[in-house]
């Protein structure tokens, strides 16, 4: 991803530390997402790979495992660079049935997160298939990766 | 065996219980992921709900060979392949022809009809 020009001014030097800095927004987002789904992950015996966030160059792709939820159980909003996700799963025993085992936890999340670069709000798409939510956020033109040709002087 | 092992009040043994020694998934090095389930018992059937996000119907195998019920789901391919698998011991008498499975929104709903003779019956009392 591209770092804004203003960020260059306080870079101390070109070392590996700088590389880490460039990815810092991702680490921050990852922590946000961990918190977002924290309740869900804690509820199962082992934390599952319930969530992923990828930068495939042109898009940010957020995937969340949300078994049992339907389209209507979500609210996804984008305001500027802030993505807000809300959803809830209720788990109720069917009436007249005895409960023998209950491992599928109900969960609820409501979280806003700051995206590391501007996205094209018009082209954001969310799909739900087989209990997996995929939110594709195409980056705005100025945040798209560009290859810079080096010209001989 | 686990902290969420709930037994029913009317008798000591649960109707369906996960096996402690999970069978190894044969011929795969795919990563195993947890497969949480809910198990309910009604008058006529046992109902099992399982979270299998990302699994399509063709990637799911449910088999019953008394007393073992096995669920195996696969999703993705190559390095991204994930396997969900679990085996249960069913102590309740089940009608092998009365099992139905439905997969929607990444949740499997499995209904196991109890064998006729285990269903509760009401005995009419006749007056002489």
Q: Model's pTM, two decimal places?
A: 0.69
Residue A19 has pLDDT above 60, yes or no: no
- Is the Cβ pair B54, A131 closer than 8 Å? yes
Q: What is the mean pLDDT of residues A2-11?
A: 36
Average pLDDT, chain B: 81
Nearest to B4 among A66, A93, A103 (CB): A103
Residues of chain A contacting B16 with CB distance shorter than 8 Å: 100-101
Q: Are A102 and B6 in contact (CB under 8 A)?
A: yes
**pLDDT for B119 beyond 90:** no
Q: What is the pLDDT of residue A21?
A: 44
Look at A101 and B16 and tell me if their CB atoms are within 8 Å: yes
Q: Do A99 and B38 touch (CB under 8 A)?
A: yes
As for the ipTM of the complex, it is 0.72
Distance CA B106, CA B128 (A): 57
Q: Does A84 touch chain B (CB under 8 A)?
A: no
Please report the pLDDT score of residue A89 as a whole number: 87
Does the structure show a pLDDT above 80 at A33? no
């Amino acid at each position: 991803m591209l770092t804004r020009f203003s960020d260059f001014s306080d870079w101390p030097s070109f070392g590996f530390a700088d590389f880490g800095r460039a990815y810092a927004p991702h680490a921050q987002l990852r922590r946000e997402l961990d918190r977002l789904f924290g309740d869900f992950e804690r509820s199962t015996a082992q934390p599952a790979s319930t969530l992923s966030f990828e930068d495939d160059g042109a898009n940010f792709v957020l995937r969340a495992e949300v078994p049992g939820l339907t389209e209507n159980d979500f609210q996804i909003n984008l305001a500027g660079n802030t993505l807000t996700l809300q959803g809830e799963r209720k788990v109720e025993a069917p009436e007249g049935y005895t409960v023998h085992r209950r491992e599928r936890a109900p969960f609820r999340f409501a979280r806003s997160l700051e995206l590391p670069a501007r996205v094209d709000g018009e082209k954001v798409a969310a799909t739900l298939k087989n209990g997996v939510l995929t939110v594709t956020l195409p980056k705005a033109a100025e945040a798209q990766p560009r290859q810079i040709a080096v010209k001989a002087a | 065996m686990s902290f969420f092992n709930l037994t029913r009040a009317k008798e000591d043994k649960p109707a369906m219980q996960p096996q402690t020694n999970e069978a190894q998934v044969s011929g795969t090095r795919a990563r195993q992921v947890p497969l949480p389930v809910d198990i309910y018992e009604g008058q006529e059937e046992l109902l099992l709900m399982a979270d299998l996000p990302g699994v399509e119907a063709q990637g799911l195998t449910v088999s019953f060979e008394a007393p073992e019920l096995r669920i195996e789901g696969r999703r993705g391919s190559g390095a991204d392949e994930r396997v969900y698998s679990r085996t249960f011991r069913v102590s309740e008498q089940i009608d092998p022809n009365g099992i139905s499975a439905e997969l929607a929104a990444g949740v499997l709903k499995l209904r196991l009809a109890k064998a006729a003779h285990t269903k509760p019956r009401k005995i009419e009392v006749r007056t002489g």
